[in-house]
Amino acid sequence: MRVARFSVGQDPRYGLVELAEDNGPHPDTIGVLTGDPLAMAVQFTGERVPLSQARLLAPVIPRSKVVGVGRNYAAHAAELGNEVPQTPLTFYKPNTAVIGPGEPIIYPSFSEQVSFEGELAVVIGRICKEVPVERAQDVIFGYTIANDVTARDKQGPDKQWARAKGFDTSCPLGPWITSHYSIEEAGELMITTTLDGEQRQHGSTSLMIHPIAELIAYISSFTTLLPGDVILTGTPEGVGLMIPGQEVSVSIEGMGTLTNKVISADPDHAGESK
């Protein structure tokens, strides 16, 4: 099941996406739901919208938080000259950082080194605290694709990551939530990131140092997770810088592609190189 948040010239709605590859009776359409499936019981309204006519939005706007995990792939930690943490290295992104597919990443005026980081994101489906590893599957609503955009030159000098990873538009999510993967299947997916069509990242979620269940158990040990909260599970090696005018795409096997263009914070230079 693919759950999308979308609009067709009106307020955001939710629906189930059916693609041509599914070989179902309604290819490339969105079956409209009565409400937000992360907040209430929903039903199919009977209305279908052609996918080509819908504007896909961020599939979830976290009501509470986005929790990121840093250095969760050994090769990525090594490429930046960092040690592998013994326990998950966590940080927060505010919900104001979230944007959807096709929305612009605004290059912040305070940085000269902005990087892409393609990641698998976990969407939490229920209120939970102190979740045992063996019960992690029970609290997952589904998965989506994320780009943990980072002002790389501010991580070190700031001594913490609030500005480097929490600025507006630094958390693209989409194109929808995929809910049919088990936690084991989600731990065996390929992540690929391209910049202007050139492959930069290509790695498997099986290479996570701390797998999905362990991340949920660890994060829920110190904070209550709410429906719609998002966990970014870390990025494989190959991260790199991007500049205004470039386009970055993150694809995850079986989940689709999240694409965003980078623009300047200065509206008069939105398509120029920084």
| Interatomic CA distance for residues 250 and 152, integer angstroms | 19
Q: Tens-digit pLDDT profile for the chain (274 aa)? A: 999 999 998 899 999 999 999 999 999 999 999 999 999 999 999 999 999 999 999 999 888 999 999 999 998 988 888 888 899 999 999 999 999 999 999 999 999 999 999 999 999 999 999 999 999 999 999 999 999 999 999 999 999 999 999 999 999 999 999 999 999 999 999 999 999 999 999 999 999 999 999 999 999 999 999 999 999 999 999 999 999 999 999 999 999 999 999 999 876 655 555 4
Which DSSP string do the residues of 13-25 spell out, in sequence order? Answer: EEEEEE-GGGT-S
Domains within the chain, CATH numbers bracketed: 1-54 (2.30.30), 64-262 (3.90.850.10)
> Is the pTM value of this prediction over 0.85?
yes
CB 212 within 8 A of CB 186: yes
pLDDT computed for residue 266 by the predictor: 79
Decide: residue 133, CB within 10 A, 0-12 exposed, 13-18 middle, 19+ buried.
middle
Please name the residue ranges forming H helices in 126-263. Answer: 152-158, 162-166, 183-186, 212-219
CB atoms within 10 A of CB 245: 17
Q: 3-class SS at 91?
A: strand
Q: Are strands 190-195 and 89-93 parallel, antiparallel or unpaired?
A: unpaired
